[in-house]
Amino acid sequence: MTMEYSLHYFRNDLYGAWAIAKKDLVIYYLKPNIYMSGLLFPVFMLLAFAVGKSAPLATLIPGLIAITSLFSASSIEPVAIPIERRTKTFDRLLSAPVSLFALVLGESLSGLLFSGSICLMLVIGAAILLGTSVTSLPVLLSAIALSCFTFAAMGAVFSAYPTENVGEVMSLLNLVRLPLIFISGVFIPLETMPPWGQAVARCSPLTYGNDLIQHGFGGPTHFGIAVDVVLLLVFSALFLALGYFLYRKFNE
């Protein structure tokens, strides 16, 4: 009886999470200006990477995809949720017959779908325009999906901060995102870092996402596929749990 009761509520949470994800996609994501902004960001980042470097552009694509997954997946919820608080539609969402966990999961799923589609467009564009080759498509797709979901869940954590001001949430988020870029092996290979730098890099989810994406394009993996996958799943679970805790604390 208890198991049937739990499965019933688990199914309801999944349905509720998907409904929230679809709501976010329709209202915030599936708009031409949003997609253009999402695509222009990595283009300008690529140009910034390429200036003054003799390396072929194709070699910069894996790191670019890792950074794009971080920024695109974690950005929408910290913007959408404060706006919904301001317009009072967030109160309606809280009163819906879904759990707070379904809310956090739904927000993360919408970030995954949006960011994942941006990253896939980058992969296709790089293959067509730059001749970038993918040596292991399953690894690359897994890396993109896990990275995007992890960073979307991280964005959901910051969006739990009880404010109607988008700038407040984004400021807090950038205090975490910007350092992650420089400690995660995107710009500086992990093997060339000092021991303390490698120790710090192990605390960043971007480290494992970047490592897995690099391997999908044929590069070596520093930690191994299994370790990267497991740790991205662990970070995802931690962010979901923390997001649930914070939403419950701030909305009691």
CA 157/CA 160 separation, integer angstroms = 5
Task: Please report the pLDDT score of residue 128 as a whole number.
Answer: 86
- Examine residue 25 and state whether it is found in any structural domain, yes or no: yes
Whether residue 2 lies inside any domain: the answer is no
Q: How many CB atoms lie within 10 A of CB 47?
A: 10
Does this model's pTM top 0.85? My answer is yes
Residue 3 domain-assigned?
no
Q: Tell me the three state secondary structure of residue 72.
A: helix
92 domain-assigned: yes
Secondary structure of residue 55 in the 3-state scheme: coil
Q: How many domains does the chain have?
A: 1
Q: Which domain covers residue 83, as residue numbers?
A: 9-250
Q: Looking at residue 130, what DSSP letter applies?
A: T
Q: Is residue 1 part of a domain?
A: no
- Per-residue model confidence (pLDDT) at position 42: 72
User: Average pLDDT by consecutive 10-residue portion of the chain (252 residues)?
Assistant: 55 81 78 68 70 68 89 85 83 76 87 90 86 88 95 91 85 89 84 87 93 90 92 95 88 66
pLDDT computed for residue 54 by the predictor: 64
> For the chain, how long is the longest CA-to-CA vector?
66
Question: Is 235 inside a domain boundary?
Answer: yes
- The DSSP result for 4-34, as a single string, is HHHHHHHHHHHHHHHHHHHHHIIIIISSHHH
**Contact residues for 207 (Cβ-Cβ < 8 A; gap 6+):** 183, 184, 185, 190, 201
pLDDT of residue 162: 84
